[in-house]
A and B are shown apart, each in its own frame.
Chain A
Amino acid sequence: MTADSVVLRLDNVVKEFPGSPPVRALDGVDLSIGAGEMTALIGPSGSGKSTLMNVIGTLDRPTSGEVRIDGVPTVTLSDAQLAGLRAARIGFVFQQFHLLEGATVLDNVASGLLYRGQGRAKRRAAATRALDSVGLSHRLHYRPPQLSGGERQRVAIARAIVGEPAIVLADEPTGNLDTGTSESIIGLMEELNVAGTTLLVITHDQDVAGGCRRQVTIRDGRLVSDTASEPRRLTEVGAAL
């Protein structure tokens, strides 16, 4: 793997939450993710997965260490610059979907481009394409409360990929879904990965992790294993759902 294709690189990242005693949620994490990878971050509850995702996603700053996205060191960037970086280079998928309940499916997806200063027509055109790629072309004018959980997460995924970010970060994307729906969501993410999207999927579900070629395990804020294997493809199973 060449340096050009590294989209994410963490060097000795430490995150400590104040308190007595302070909680060291990340304890010297080194991690490098290349373009086109689909990585699972596995670990028990409380091991630091969400903290790591927030630090990678620049929603939170590390106590020490360096986080580079697309080669750009982020710790010295201002809050507004980090916002711009997120708008341009990072897509998020959350366990609780975090959709705008008052907006249509189309506008929810288009909101992925909202803070890039693009006009609405352009955003909607891109959103229409993204919704097509997650199989929701028939739901453009629905609102989130009218959708099933799986459909909502597809909308969130479409929103994350609409701006073609360097990396999509998904924190427990199937945590609120039943098994069948989870499999279809993982299948969708695999499809997107095949089409070129770089993904980091946080999960404590072994089935979900099994869908990823690379698996990184975290325990007590430290990466304890990093293995690559042939992924067990779920695409065929998920296609029916």
Chain B
Amino acid sequence: MTGSGYKSAWRSRLTAPDVVGVGLYGIRGRRGRAILTAIGISIGIAAIVAVFGISSSSKADLLAQIDALGTNLLVVTAGDTLGGDDSKIPVAAPDMARRISPVRSASAVAMLDTEVQRNKYDESPNGLDVYASESNLLETLEGTMTTGRFLDEETSTLPTVVLGSVAAQRLGITGLADLPTVYIGDQEFAVVGILDPLTLHPDLDRSVLIGEAATTTYLGADLYPTRVYVRTTPEHVDAVRSVLGRTVNPGAPNEVEVTRPSDALAARAQVDEGLQNLLLGLGGVALLVGGVGVANVMVISVIERRQEIGLRRAIGATRRHIGVQFLIESVTLTTLGGLIGAGLGSLITYVYAQQQGWTIVVPVTILGAAIAAALTMGAVAGLYPAVRASRMDPAEAVRPST
């Protein structure tokens, strides 16, 4: 044959499964070393996953709490007038609020300038407030009773009170069995119910509530709302919030303040960011050190495996085949580390969340990002060793070691 053309049938080829198989060859033969090499990456990934997992779980827990309490309750309070005096909320405010269509219920309370005592002649300060309340307050706050009933149409007109949980405790009233009474001024009031604690309204926990009609009848006080509680449909909280001030006090909308009690709790979900960033930084450093470790081990591996590289070149591997082999090896090592780290981080999150009584939340995006980071790390760490392996002179590489 005198043909001088290069035969394309002679092209060096490696099937896709063999690319993978060859890439894993070095790791299969040195499993112990592979695990040790992957540990650095694992620690970094575990730290990052745990930080995100723990903060997500804690956040989720807080948000669940807030959700249970409801984020659709708004409170209107009297602000300051332009002149700096206390302003007043118009008496018609609750009715006005109820006219906003997404408002489910609204009820006002008016603080009375008086004190409550267990005994008629007792005057020791107890820090308890007395409020006139509409009979739909319990419904608006979605509160529950420890015992007895809330003020209704009938009891609102009679000398009866409902006690907040703290008020009941301070007045030494634990049940209704022995028909307890309290004194407001000289007037005796029968206790008809005790409220469960209201997480978002600790001020009401420390209060004694009287019906509006009874207030006028027995205490003769003016009834200007101190606060108006407004429960809206969940989807329209913001819309209601933006018009509520104008609606309840059209004359001076700036003199009322509209707040959402759940916002204070939600703010707590954000506070630990500084610590979180510090831990993330440490995780990042561990990851980087792990990556340098992998690069180091890979360089040593290339030197140690000179003869394997020479043999592969002799049996037909191209430079690219050799480079890809070492790149796959490096990426496999770091991805292995990433997987171990993701598992470890999830475990840490699990144990910690379990201790705190939280539900466990490890965001899938974080797991994905962590493994992607490990993979990228492997590609970067493996690049130099892979290039070095691929550039090795085959004649040099097959030479006997002396």
Size range of the interface on B?
A: 35 or more
A-B contact count (CB 8 A): 123
Interface string of A117-141 (1 = CB under 8 A from B): 1111000000000000000000000
Which residues on A sit within 8 Å (CB–CB) of B313? Answer: 59, 83, 86
Given A59-B394, A60-B394, A81-B10, A102-B29 contact (CB < 8 Å): yes
From known contacts A72-B4, A120-B17, infer whether A80 and B320 are also in contact, taking CB-CB under 8 Å. Answer: yes
Selected from A95, A117, A159, the residue in CB contact (under 8 A) with B13 is: A117
Q: A79 near B314 (CB under 8 angstroms)?
A: no
Stretch at the interface among A107-115, A182-190, A206-214, A233-241: A107-115
Choose from B3, B5, B321 the contact partner of A115 (Cβ within 8 Å): B321
Q: Cβ of A119: which chain B residues have Cβ within 8 Å of it?
A: 15
**Interfacial chain A residues near B22, Cβ < 8 Å:** 114
B18 → A minimal CB distance (Å): 6
On chain B, the residues within 8 Å of A103 by CB distance are 25
Q: Mark A44-81, 1 if CB is under 8 A from B, else 0.
A: 00000010001001011000000000111100010111
Helix, strand, loop or mixed for chain A's interface?
mixed
**Contact call B400/A95, Cβ cutoff below 8 A:** yes
Answer yes or no: A88 CB below 8 A from chain B CBs: yes
B305 CB → nearest A CB, Å: 10
Q: Which chain A residues lie closer than 8 Å to B7 at the CB level?
A: 72, 88
Q: A87-B12, A117-B15 are in contact. Are A159 and B315 (CB under 8 A)?
A: yes
Q: A102 — nearest CB in chain B belongs to which residue?
A: B29
Q: In the complex, which residue of chain A has the Cβ closest to the Cβ of B30?
A: A102
CA distance A57 to B310 in the complex (A): 12
| Assembled-state Cα–Cα distance A81/B400 (Å) | 25
Interface string of A23-57 (1 = CB under 8 A from B): 00000000000000000000000000010001001
A114 and B320 form a contact (CB under 8 A): no
Decide: B18 and A120 in contact? CB cutoff 8 A: yes
Interface residues on A, range: 35 or more
Q: Please tell me if the beta carbons of A57 and B316 are within 8 angstroms of each other in the complex.
A: no
CA distance A118 to B307 in the complex (A): 24
B4 in contact with A85 (CB, 8 Å): no
Excluding A101-B29, A102-B25, A115-B318, 17 further A-B contacts by CB distance (< 8 Å) are A59-B310, A59-B313, A59-B394, A71-B4, A72-B5, A87-B10, A88-B316, A89-B10, A92-B398, A98-B307, A98-B311, A111-B315, A114-B316, A115-B12, A115-B13, A115-B317, A117-B14
- Residues on A lying within 8 angstroms of B by beta carbon are 3-4, 50, 54, 57, 59-60, 70-73, 77, 79-81, 83-90, 92, 94-96, 98, 100-103, 111-112, 114-120, 159
What are the 5 A-B residue pairs with the smallest beta carbon separation, nearest first? A87-B316, A117-B13, A102-B29, A115-B316, A60-B395
List residues of chain B with CB under 8 Å of any chain A CB.
1-7, 9-15, 17-18, 22, 25, 28-29, 307-308, 310-321, 393-395, 398-401
